[in-house]
Structure 1
Amino acid sequence: MSVTTRVLTGEALAAALPDVARLRISVFRDWPYLYDGDADYERDYLKAYQSPGAVVVAALDGTRVVGAATGAPMSDHAADFAAAFAGRPEPMSQIFYCAESVLLPEYRGQGIGHAFFDAREAHARGLGLRHCAFCSVIRSPDHPARPSGYRPLDEFWRKRGYAPLPGVTARFAWKDLGQQAETEKDLQFWMRAL
């Protein structure tokens, strides 16, 4: 499969948000997110990526969007993350938030994950920011929905220079598959200097 990536900002980014929503709903159904997503939640959530510093990196198979990675200055998310980063020496104004990377399963293992991070890190440098951070969902190792043989992405992230920030976590609510209501989940922040 021949996949290309494109960095999208401004109007091109806004035009890609429906594809990002579709991919988030599809890809995040799997472990560890177990996300039972819907278009209304997505529309509200993705408003954060309409800021001037935001970026979407789209993975394209021809003209079909098969993956996407999002990011924006952490200051665009200050209300959500201020408590998590309180006491950190890095000012939030110097951190770029690499939000999600979603890629259809049949396109994995081709280096697209690296392309997603490379493009977002380059975008952050272009904005003059000095750090990149993201968060990963924390699930119990004995969770009944955990697939046997599951390999977390920790090794991939560490090879890219990211490390978990001790005690820096956030809580987000979403509806898990098979559940009637949203529940809060803990997310661990990882960060690297650029």
Structure 2
Amino acid sequence: MDEVTVRALTGADLEQALDGVAALRIAVFRDWPYLYDGSLDYERAYLQTYRDSPGALLVGAFHGDQLIGASTSTPMEDHAEAFAEPLKAIGLPVETILYGAESVLLPAFRGQGLGHRFFDLREEHARALGRSHVAFCSVMRPDNHPMRPAHFRTNDAFWRGRGYTPLDGVFAEFSWKDTNAAAESAKPLQFWIREL
């Protein structure tokens, strides 16, 4: 942990780190439960949101000069409409929400408190933007999925410990190509939210 630094990046600093975020997303999301078969071209298009949003934040964890972890967020109205619509449908004003899109961390650096730093800085950013809530989504997979590891443990306890609760019956849908699939397919994503 002594050699890892965590920095909140915006603007040009954020943009400079996005290829590193792309590489992390491809590596980390290849594992369960995402099973994401990503490409750099797809990632660069997906991450354009953070270049375009003046309220975007990238919390980067660096081991020396190497980006080993990242947590991204944007004002909810700046993220994909597929994520804003389910919240609008239940009457939540999206202008009050910071959306935490992903937190990715290489396995060798897990269990050292970096996840808490990601959430601390994300929530601090939300407050600085005048947001009253932070929300994120988690991918849902069936318990009997053939690729589910036998000893998989969800992050639910960590998220609940941070004050987040699932929004019952509120889901987004997003498509990507699984590692064992020929084409993209839609996956349900459960919303979690916390009032600051």
* Residues in 1 aligned to 2:188 and 2:79: alpha-carbon distance in whole angstroms: 17
Question: What is aligned with 1:170?
Answer: 172
Question: What is aligned with 1:94?
Answer: 96
CA contact (8 A) 2:76 2:84 kept: no
How much does 1:40 deviate?
Answer: 1.2
Q: Percent of aligned positions with the same letter in both sequences?
A: 58
1:140 to 131, 136, 142: 142
For 1:93, the aligned partner's letter is: E
> How do 1:27-106 and structure 2 match up within 5 A?
27-50=28-51, 51-77=53-79, 79-106=81-108
Per-residue CA deviation, residues 66-104 of structure 1 (Å, 9 max, x unaligned), is: 010000000102622233113434310000001100000
Q: Tell me, what secondary structure is at the counterpart of 1:190?
A: strand
For 1:133, the aligned partner's letter is: A
Residue 17 in structure 1 maps to residue 18 in structure 2: yes
* Residues in 1 aligned to 2:190 and 2:181: alpha-carbon distance in whole angstroms: 23
Q: Tell me, what secondary structure is at the counterpart of 1:174?
A: strand
Q: Tell me, what secondary structure is at the counterpart of 1:86?
A: helix
For 1:191, the aligned partner's letter is: I
CA contact (8 A) 2:170 2:190 kept: yes
Question: What is aligned with 1:161?
Answer: 163
* Residues in 1 aligned to 2:92 and 2:187: alpha-carbon distance in whole angstroms: 25
CA contact (8 A) 2:58 2:70 kept: yes
* Residues in 2 aligned to 1:21 and 1:172: alpha-carbon distance in whole angstroms: 17
Q: Tell me, what secondary structure is at the counterpart of 2:191?
A: strand
Question: What is aligned with 2:115?
Answer: 113
How much does 1:151 deviate?
Answer: 0.5
Q: Tell me, what secondary structure is at the counterpart of 1:33?
A: coil
For 2:47, the aligned partner's letter is: L
Q: Tell me, what secondary structure is at the counterpart of 1:158?
A: helix
RMSD: 1.0
Q: Tell me, what secondary structure is at the counterpart of 1:14?
A: helix
CA contact (8 A) 2:166 2:192 kept: yes
Which consecutive residues of structure 2, in runs of 5 or more, have no partner in the other structure? none
CA contact (8 A) 2:88 2:94 kept: no
How much does 1:167 deviate?
Answer: 1.4
* Residues in 2 aligned to 1:77 and 1:56: alpha-carbon distance in whole angstroms: 14
How much does 1:178 deviate?
Answer: 1.8
Give the TM-score normalised by the residue count of structure 1. Answer: 0.97
CA contact (8 A) 1:78 1:92 kept: no
How much does 1:12 deviate?
Answer: 0.2
Which consecutive residues of structure 1, in runs of 5 or more, have no partner in the other structure? none
